[in-house]
């Protein structure tokens, strides 16, 4: 393979058949499109998700719980397939709560973090028996009032805005003024309010950043988190039963990105946990991962509807775009636009040509690939944009310009040897 090989950046787990068609979970991309009856569509390969979860399980110290952050991809079939594979779901809205419960995740294994929880979301969470990750003194007071009115106990963790960040993260969620969690300096005061009969105190939640490919930075943040929580535990209204260490495990979207050294993260966490302060001797630890579990398993398939040249540049115009796959267009929080890996899914052979691949929206922001080398591509060919399993449909402005929503398909969802770290309720 050379840098000009159009398939050079195809993520592991994808290949072509002998006539050059891209296979997704062993089936040609065109067959997935026929099955959906339309393009564009997302296809998620559950076999790849399962393999990734097995890798994470093997790398993490025994007993560390693996939670899936539903925000990365809340497709109902995918959530159902995830339930037997992970130890909990982390959710960020009342809508995700409904999806998590409908998928069959036990309420005790669901935790709800996110700023701006409305009263009805707090109530639904408390009624369901799921865990609230409390983000502020005001939210603590509202949760106590609602639980008291309902005559129920609210399971609650305190989310801390740590005084450190996860170095080198795509998105920083700690270390400074943030709308997420309670500043570590203010935690003792909020913990005092949680010493209330309407609260069942579960533990602490710290999420310092995401999309990080540096194992040493993740290990450092985990060690700092455990130190911070051990310090705060003395002021907790009860024993700390669970510490959610956050996640931040990143995936390689771009050519210069190197995959995360998962074994190094796991080994360092093992060392940190073995040396942890005695106040945390008996509690469970969890990591919450979104994109790391699902991003590389997803493909966005869109069909070329037009070929045209402008000032000498070839444009392949597709029926998809940023309304389905905002992240690939570069408009979901990236300073510099770079191409996600993409290929012609219909053919591998043909004279090479360089093209800009655009969507069907009338905005210059709607770019799926710029200066991409492909075999000569015809109207009707399918383009496959990889890394589409996380923050694809769910993080895109689907209503923009009134195009239909994309189809979604889950491949290979029959469960094989589900493994859980622990099935016990907290
Ligand atoms: C609290 C929380 N948990 C989990 C995630 C998932 O992050 P990722 O998909 O990068 O693993 C996020 C992302 O912003 C988050 O804010």
Mutation to probe ligand 1, out of 67, 71, 73 (largest number of atoms < 8 A from CB): 71
Q: According to the model, what pLDDT value does residue 2 have? A: 44
Phi/psi region, residue 228 (left: phi>0; alpha: psi -120 to 50; beta: rest), is alpha
Q: According to the model, what pLDDT value does residue 40 have? A: 98
How far is the centre of ligand 1, averaged over its atoms, from the C-alpha of 353 (Å)? 38
CA atoms within 13 A on the CB side of 47: 9
Q: According to the model, what pLDDT value does residue 312 have? A: 97
Q: According to the model, what pLDDT value does residue 1 have? A: 41
Contact 328, 368 (CB under 8 A): yes
* Closest approach atom of ligand 1 to CA 114: 1
Other beta carbons within 10 angstroms of residue 170's beta carbon come to 17
Tell me how far apart the alpha carbons of residues 50 and 56 are, in angstroms, rounded to a whole number: 10
How far is the centre of ligand 1, averaged over its atoms, from the C-alpha of 318 (Å)? 30
* Domain coordinates in residue numbering, the chain: 15-45+296-411, 106-289
Selection from 311, 404, 388, 410 nearest residue 342 by Cα:
388
Contact 57, 67 (CB under 8 A): no
Q: How far is CA 225 from CA 164, 222, 262, 274, in A?
A: 9, 5, 19, 15
Tell me how far apart the alpha carbons of residues 85 and 409 are, in angstroms, rounded to a whole number: 19
Instruction: Indicate whether residue 207 lines ligand 1 (CB < 6 A).
Output: yes
Instruction: Indicate whether residue 68 lines ligand 1 (CB < 6 A).
Output: no
Instruction: Indicate whether residue 211 lines ligand 1 (CB < 6 A).
Output: yes
Other beta carbons within 10 angstroms of residue 114's beta carbon come to 17
Instruction: Indicate whether residue 161 lines ligand 1 (CB < 6 A).
Output: no
Residue nearest to atom 4 of ligand 1 (CA): 69
Tell me how far apart the alpha carbons of residues 367 and 12 are, in angstroms, rounded to a whole number: 24
- pTM greater than the 0.75 cutoff: yes
Tell me how far apart the alpha carbons of residues 141 and 124 are, in angstroms, rounded to a whole number: 16
Instruction: Indicate whether residue 295 lines ligand 1 (CB < 6 A).
Output: no
Residue nearest to atom 14 of ligand 1 (CA): 210
Per-residue pLDDT of the chain (426 residues; tens, 9 = 90+): 444 788 999 999 999 999 999 999 999 999 999 999 999 999 999 999 999 999 999 999 999 999 999 999 999 999 999 999 999 999 999 999 999 999 999 999 999 999 999 999 999 999 999 999 999 999 999 999 999 999 999 999 999 999 888 877 766 666 788 889 999 999 999 999 999 999 999 999 999 999 999 999 999 999 999 999 999 999 999 999 999 999 999 999 999 999 999 999 999 999 999 999 999 999 999 999 999 999 999 999 999 999 999 999 999 999 999 999 999 999 887 777 899 999 999 999 999 999 999 999 999 999 999 999 999 999 999 999 999 999 999 999 999 999 999 999 999 876 545 555 544 445
Other beta carbons within 10 angstroms of residue 319's beta carbon come to 20
Q: According to the model, what pLDDT value does residue 3 have? A: 46
Tell me how far apart the alpha carbons of residues 96 and 58 are, in angstroms, rounded to a whole number: 28
Selection from 4, 60, 44 nearest residue 408 by Cα:
44
* Closest approach atom of ligand 1 to CA 211: 10
Tell me how far apart the alpha carbons of residues 393 and 373 are, in angstroms, rounded to a whole number: 26
In this structure, which topology does domain 106-289 adopt according to CATH? TIM Barrel (3.20.20)
Residue nearest to atom 10 of ligand 1 (CA): 210
* Closest approach atom of ligand 1 to CA 113: 1
Other beta carbons within 10 angstroms of residue 144's beta carbon come to 20
Instruction: Indicate whether residue 290 lines ligand 1 (CB < 6 A).
Output: yes
CATH homologous superfamily, domain 15-45+296-411:
Lyase, Ornithine Decarboxylase; Chain A, domain 1 (2.40.37.10)
Q: What are phi and psi of 167, to 5 degrees?
A: -55, 130
Burial (CB < 10 A; 0-12, 13-18, 19+), residue 82, is buried
Residue 167 CB partners (closer than 8 Å, separation 6+): 212, 214, 217, 220, 221
Selection from 107, 111, 42, 55 nearest residue 85 by Cα:
55
Residue by residue, what is the 3-state secondary structure of 386-402?
CCCCCCCHHHCCCCHHH
DSSP 218: H
């Amino acid at each position: 393979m050379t840098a000009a090989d159009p398939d050079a950046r195809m993520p592991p787990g994808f290949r072509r058949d002998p006539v050059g068609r891209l296979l997704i979970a062993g089936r040609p991309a065109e067959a997935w499109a026929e099955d959906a009856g339309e393009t564009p569509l997302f296809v998620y390969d559950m076999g790849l998700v399962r393999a990734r979860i097995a890798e994470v399980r093997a790398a993490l110290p025994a007993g560390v719980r693996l939670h899936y952050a539903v925000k990365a991809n809340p497709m109902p079939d995918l959530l159902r397939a995830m339930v037997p594979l992970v130890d909990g779901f982390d959710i960020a809205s009342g809508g995700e709560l409904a999806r998590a419960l409908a998928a069959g995740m036990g309420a005790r294994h669901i935790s709800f973090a996110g700023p701006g929880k409305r009263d009805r979301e707090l109530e639904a969470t408390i009624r369901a028996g799921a865990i609230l990750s409390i983000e502020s003194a005001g939210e603590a007071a509202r949760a106590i009032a609602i639980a008291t009115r309902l005559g129920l106990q609210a399971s609650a963790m305190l989310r801390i805005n740590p005084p450190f960040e996860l170095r080198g993260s795509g998105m920083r969620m700690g270390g400074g003024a943030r709308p997420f969690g309670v500043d570590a300096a203010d935690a003792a005061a909020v913990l005092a309010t949680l010493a209330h009969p309407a609260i069942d105190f579960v533990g602490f939640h710290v999420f310092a950043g995401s999309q990080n490919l540096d194992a040493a930075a993740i290990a450092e943040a985990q060690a700092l988190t455990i130190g911070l929580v051990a310090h705060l535990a003395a002021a907790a209204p009860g024993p700390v039963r669970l510490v959610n260490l956050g996640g931040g495990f990143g995936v390689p979207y771009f050519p210069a990105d190197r995959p995360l050294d998962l074994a190094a993260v796991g080994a360092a966490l093992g060392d940190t946990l073995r040396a942890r302060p005695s106040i945390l001797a008996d509690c469970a630890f969890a990591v919450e991962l979104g994109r790391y579990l699902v991003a590389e398993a997803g493909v966005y398939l869109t069909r070329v509807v037009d070929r045209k040249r402008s000032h000498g540049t070839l444009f392949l115009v597709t029926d998809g775009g940023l309304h389905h796959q905002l992240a690939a267009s570069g408009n979901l929080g990236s300073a510099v636009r770079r191409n996600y890996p993409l290929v012609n899914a219909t053919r591998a052979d043909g004279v090479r040509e360089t093209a800009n691949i655009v969507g069907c929206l009338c905005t210059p922001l709607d770019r799926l690939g710029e200066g991409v080398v492909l075999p000569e591509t015809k109207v009707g060919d399918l383009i496959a944009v990889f890394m589409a399993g996380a923050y694809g449909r769910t993080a895109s402005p689907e209503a923009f310009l009134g195009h239909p929503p994309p189809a979604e398909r889950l491949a290979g969802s029959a469960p094989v040897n589900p493994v859980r770290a622990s099935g016990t309720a907290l």
